[in-house]
Amino acid sequence: MTARGIPVGAWIGLAGVGLALVCAAFAPWLAPYGESEIVGDIWQPVGGDFVLGTDNIGRDLLSRMIYGARTTIFVAMAATLLSFSLGTLLSFTAAVLRGWPDQALSRLNDLMMSIPTLIFALVVLAVLPQEMWILILVMAVLDSTRVFRLGRAVAVDIAVMDFVEAARLRGEGTVWIIFREILPNALTPLLAEFGLRFAFSILFLSTLSFLGLGIQPPAADWGGMVRDNKDGIIFGIPAALIPGAAIAVLTVSINLVVDWLSNRTASLKGGRS
């Protein structure tokens, strides 16, 4: 694989994701000020003493953005990984075993999906203590219902293929069939879905933070920053738009990278589809 083989879109995506990751990893060194340090007046304009201005209580917006990248990406990534592990494992198990395990899991999944996600999350998070791991867990469980749907549909198709039958004839156990026969062949659609789901996770986290049930102040996260600064929009102050734009750019970048990855894995090894 040479650098020239990567299409322009993928480069843009890689640059965007790379920037966000660097910010997340090296936040304390990159940020000019502390995460919740009040350094100036409220809503100071862009440029001047502060590159992106200050927020509603006079904290440096650039520093908050950099620290926010860390929280936002970590929580969204953890929630997405967890939801994929959970959703994929359960859906593949359902598809391979069929019969009553399939029925039980699928109906439970339908039940979960029939409750609107945001309301579900709001109720659960309002009741439970506000800790980050609980937030991640709730997001992951809610998201895993979507992964389950996709995973089961893909796996049911693969599970009836001759090579899975050959594995059954050999006497292979369910674990081998799930992880060695089905998973590698389901990777392409799952990867594409991963990109989408990660983007949705960021949006969902931002929504929760905006509603006050996500990341708790004074910790910075992009969705929460939009909420903090939303009143400024009325006075023509762009402080709320900057984290909003960051969310949009990261979402688009991730999808560009995932598109490229899923094309690549599909063309290699003569994968199915």
Partner 1 sequence: MAELLEIRNLRIEATIWPPGEAARDVPIVDDISFTLARGKVIGLIGESGAGKSTIGLAALGYGRGGVRITGGEVRLDGQDILSLGRGGLRSVRGARVAYVAQSAAAAFNPAHRIGDQVIEAAIRHGILDRAAARRRAAHLFEVLGLPDPERFGARYPHQVSGGQLQRAMTAMALLPGPELVVFDEPTTALDVTTQIDVLAAIKAAIAETGTAAIYVTHDLAVVAQVADDIMVLRQGRMVEHGPAEKIITDPEAAYTRRLVTVRTAEGAEAEDQSDRLLDIDGVTARYGELTVLSDVTMHLPRGQTLAVVGESGSGKSTLARVVTGLLPPAGGRVFYRGRPLPPALRHRTRDDLRAIQMISQMADTAMNPRHTVAQIIGRPLRFYFGLRSRRRRDRVAELLHQIELDPSLAHRYPAELSGGQKQRVAIARALAAEPEIILCDEPTSALDPLVADGILKLLLRLQAETGTSYLFITHDIAIVRAIADSVAVLHRGRVVRFGPKREVLAPPFDDYTDLLLESVPELRTGWLESVLRTRRMGSAGH
Residue 100 interacting with partner 1 (CB under 8 A): no
Residue 26 interacting with partner 1 (CB under 8 A): no
Cβ neighbours of residue 57 under 8 Å, at least 6 residues apart? 38, 42, 228
Residue 169 interacting with partner 1 (CB under 8 A): yes
**Interaction residues for partner 1, span 2-21 (CB under 8 A):** 5
The site that binds partner 1 (CB under 8 A) totals a number of residues, namely 23
Q: Which of 57, 161, 203, 241 binds partner 1 (CB under 8 A)?
A: 161
Residue 236 interacting with partner 1 (CB under 8 A): no
Residue with tokens 């965007």: 16
Three-state secondary structure call for residue 241: helix
Please, which residue, 63 or 188, has the CB nearer to partner 1?
188
Q: Which of 119, 162, 234, 236 binds partner 1 (CB under 8 A)?
A: 162
Residue 166 interacting with partner 1 (CB under 8 A): yes
Residue 270 interacting with partner 1 (CB under 8 A): yes
Residue 272 interacting with partner 1 (CB under 8 A): yes
Residue 163 interacting with partner 1 (CB under 8 A): yes
Neighbour-count burial of 111, counting CB atoms closer than 10 A to its CB (0-12 exposed, 13-18 middle, 19+ buried): exposed
What is the number of helices (H) and of strands (E) in the chain?
Answer: 11, 0
Measured CA to CA, the distance from residue 51 to residue 49 in angstroms comes to 7
- CA-nearest of 111, 272, 261 to 196 is 261
Cβ neighbours of residue 187 under 8 Å, at least 6 residues apart? 265
Residue 168 interacting with partner 1 (CB under 8 A): yes
**Total Cβ atoms within 10 A of residue 126:** 10
**Total Cβ atoms within 10 A of residue 149:** 17
Stretch that binds partner 1, among 132-140, 166-174, 204-212, 223-231 (CB under 8 A): 166-174
- CA-nearest of 246, 252, 251, 249 to 61 is 246
**Interaction residues for partner 1, span 178-197 (CB under 8 A):** 180-181, 184-185, 187
Please, which residue, 119 or 169, has the CB nearer to partner 1?
169
Residues at the contact surface with partner 1, assessed by CB under 8 A: 1, 5, 161-163, 165-166, 168-172, 180-181, 184-185, 187, 267-272
